[in-house]
């Protein structure tokens, strides 16, 4: 029986991303085949199915159609330099995390994916202790705009998709694992 001893050690951003992104466990086909291309209705549904991790229920399909598909042309006409908060104000419904994900679908390089796992990873990296994401949508959006986007910018020079994968995987690890987290 293999026995393990776990010892965390410090790494720079690139080593962190290389290690944790290599541990990312999910298939990327739906994402890779649709991101960065013109957002057709089918692509929007495929990307939300990827984010959801399973096929969308009828209620979720209706939500995606109502809250995101109908806004794709409007968002495409907006200025690319408009802030995340201003863009999110154009999408008033659908939940904060899915609204932020839709921004990512529209401008994947500019707007990273944000959810409970990447929030937990960010806070741990900043403070040494994990923190769960806020319960209310307004707080999630504020945290994304004022805290996560500046944090994410510290990974400048590293390809964005591996950064997304690394932060998600590390944040999930912090929630699931019972390993020590002090260096």
The answer to whether 174 and 124 are in contact (CB under 8 A) is yes
Which tens digits make up the pLDDT trace of 113-154? 999 999 999 999 999 888 999 999 999 999 999 999 999 999
Q: Does some domain include residue 8? A: no
The answer to whether 112 and 94 are in contact (CB under 8 A) is no
Q: Does some domain include residue 3? A: no
- Mean pLDDT over 70-90 rounds to 80
Q: Does some domain include residue 1? A: no
User: Which domain does 139 fall in, by range?
Assistant: 13-176
Q: Would the pLDDT of 180 be above 80?
A: no
**Selected residue with higher pLDDT from 154 and 77:** 154
Crossing angle of helices 96-106 and 58-67, rounded to 10° = 60
Give the Cα separation of 100 and 97 in Å (integer): 5
Q: Does some domain include residue 28? A: yes
Which tens digits make up the pLDDT trace of 3-42? 767 677 889 999 999 999 999 988 899 999 999 999 999 9
Q: Does some domain include residue 4? A: no
Residue 68: name the closest of 106, 11, 29 by CA: 106
Q: Does some domain include residue 57? A: yes
Q: Which two tokens stand for residue 51?
A: 């984010």
Residue 93: name the closest of 62, 115, 120 by CA: 62
pLDDT at 59: 96
Q: Would the pLDDT of 78 be above 70?
A: no
pTM of structure? 0.90
User: In the chain, how many domains are there?
Assistant: 1
Q: Does some domain include residue 83? A: yes
**Sequence-separated (6 or more) residues with CB below 8 Å from residue 123:** 129, 130, 131
Q: Does some domain include residue 2? A: no
Q: Which residue do the tokens 């994968």 mark?
A: 165
The answer to whether 123 and 130 are in contact (CB under 8 A) is yes
């Amino acid at each position: 029986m293999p026995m393990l001893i776990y010892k965390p050690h410090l790494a720079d951003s690139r080593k962190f991303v290389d290690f944790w992104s290599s541990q990312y466990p999910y298939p990327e086909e739906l994402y890779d085949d649709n991101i960065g291309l013109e957002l057709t209705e089918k692509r929007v549904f495929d990307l939300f199915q990827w984010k959801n991790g399973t096929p969308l229920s009828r209620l979720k399909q209706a939500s995606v159609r109502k809250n995101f598909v109908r806004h794709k042309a409007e968002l495409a006409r907006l200025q690319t330099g408009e802030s995340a908060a201003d863009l999110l104000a154009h999408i008033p419904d659908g939940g904060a995390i899915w609204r932020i994900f839709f921004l990512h679908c529209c401008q994947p390089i500019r707007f990273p994916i944000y959810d409970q796992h990447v929030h937990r990873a960010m806070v741990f990296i900043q403070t040494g202790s994990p923190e769960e994401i806020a319960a209310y949508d307004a707080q999630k959006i504020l945290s994304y705009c004022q805290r996560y986007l500046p944090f994410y910018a510290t990974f400048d020079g590293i390809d964005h998709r591996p950064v997304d994968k690394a932060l998600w995987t590390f944040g999930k690890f912090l929630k699931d694992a019972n390993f020590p987290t002090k260096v």
